[in-house]
Copies of this chain bind each other. A is one copy, B any other.
């Protein structure tokens, strides 16, 4: 065993997080972000307390109003006295500034609410990137007693599908007059939507956008026994339609719990989480233990002396020879 934080300190931190103390939650998310050496025992200690939170993914092109919808949903869930987590995922650099500042302004009304945990997470610097860090952060919110966790992507460039993979219910946001209908179809987001939200529904073009979405849902030819995604209209800035949206999300949960897809989806998520973590450690091993060899091979590939398949073979062969059967951090 490596020397790590003692069990008493871990128990204390986990206890404080479970009691909903914001600083403890923040420290745990930081441990995820920094890939702290204490992360393994911490996640092991948190595991028994996970599985309760309803994770809601919020996807959509920039400008459709994701942050505003998120803020409105926080307010709606707070009227139920639910504990709410918000995870804003910024796949670009951690210091782009504008986007996150914008979110913070919209979230200001909840900033002093001790039952609302708001955290943004950037993709850089994590072991395995967001595919590893996101589920761990969600587990922290979950163990901290959140009834619902809203996951929102900030900015473009991130796979919406990847975010949806972490959610129990995925909202796909669109807005009239942005050419989003057809664009959304290209990215395959229609396939991941559990609830479609036409935001800015006070603008022209709402009906034609709804028709377009309806047509595309019909084209997807889903199994009739499966959940048929509803289309809800909102004006998030004024709160119009938010109660109806919340009701549709509730219905989706009830339906998914009823037909078994809720637990099935969570099983897929857990498998993806374990696989991502295993792959992240393998990638680290390739980079840190076979880094020089990789550079030499890359030089040969670049110069046409070797093909990439033969080079990959060599990496795998020497990885196996130097393999260590553990994911323990190795001083790197």
Chain A residues at the B interface, C-beta cutoff of 8 Å: 39-40, 43-44, 46-51, 61-63, 90-93, 96, 98-99, 135-136, 154-161, 179, 182-189, 191, 263, 266-271, 273-275, 277-279, 281-283, 286-287, 294-295, 297-299, 301-313, 315-317, 319-321, 323, 325-327
Closest 3 CB pairs of A and B: A155-B186, A157-B187, A271-B298
Q: Is the CB of A283 within 8 A of B274?
A: no
Given known A189-B157, A298-B267, A298-B270, contact A304–B49 (CB-CB < 8 A): yes
Interchain nearest-CB distance for A263 vs B (Å): 7
Q: Judging by beta carbons under 8 Å apart, are B98 and A302 in contact?
A: no
CB distance from A34 to the nearest CB of B (A): 15
Q: Which residues of B contact A96 (CB under 8 A)?
A: 185-186, 188
Verify B307–A326 contact, CB threshold 8 A.
no
Given contacts A263-B302, A282-B316, A155 and B135 within 8 Å (CB-CB)? no
Our pick among B51, B159, B275, B319 for the contact of A157 (Cβ within 8 Å) is: B159
Among B92, B270, B327, contact of A187 (Cβ-Cβ < 8 Å)? B92
Query: When the two chains form their complex, are residues B62 and A179 in contact, meaning their CB atoms are under 8 A apart?
Result: yes
CB pairs A–B below 8 angstroms (15 shown):
A40-B307, A47-B304, A62-B183, A96-B185, A96-B188, A135-B308, A157-B159, A157-B160, A271-B295, A273-B301, A274-B311, A274-B315, A278-B312, A282-B282, A313-B327
A30 to B44, CA, bound (A): 45
As for how many copies of this chain the complex holds, the number is 2
Docked Cα-Cα span, A90 to B43, in Å, equals: 37
- Contact of A279 (CB < 8 Å), options: B270, B282, B307: B282
Given A274-B294, A317-B325, 14 more A-B residue pairs with CB atoms under 8 Å apart are A40-B307, A46-B307, A51-B303, A62-B183, A63-B183, A156-B160, A267-B299, A270-B308, A273-B308, A274-B298, A278-B315, A279-B286, A316-B327, A320-B325
CB-defined contacts of A304 to chain B, threshold 8 Å: 47-51
Q: A182 with B275: in contact, given A47-B306, A156-B156, A307-B44 (CB under 8 Å)?
A: no
Most chain B CB within 10 A, of A48, A188, A309, is at A309
Q: List the B side residues contacting A159 at CB < 8 Å.
A: 91, 157-159
CA A185 – CA B85 in complex, angstroms? 26
Say whether B309 contacts A287, CB under 8 Å.
no
Report whether A313 and B298 are in contact in the complex, using a CB–CB cutoff of 8 Å.
no
CA distance A93 to B61 in the complex (A): 18
Q: How far is the CA of A40 from the CA of B308 in the complex (A)?
A: 9
Q: Is the CB of A312 within 8 A of B287?
A: no
State in angstroms the CA–CA spacing of A135 and B303 once bound together.
14
Assess whether B270 is in contact with A275, with CB atoms less than 8 Å apart: no
Bound together, the chains give a CA A143 to CA B189 distance in angstroms of: 36
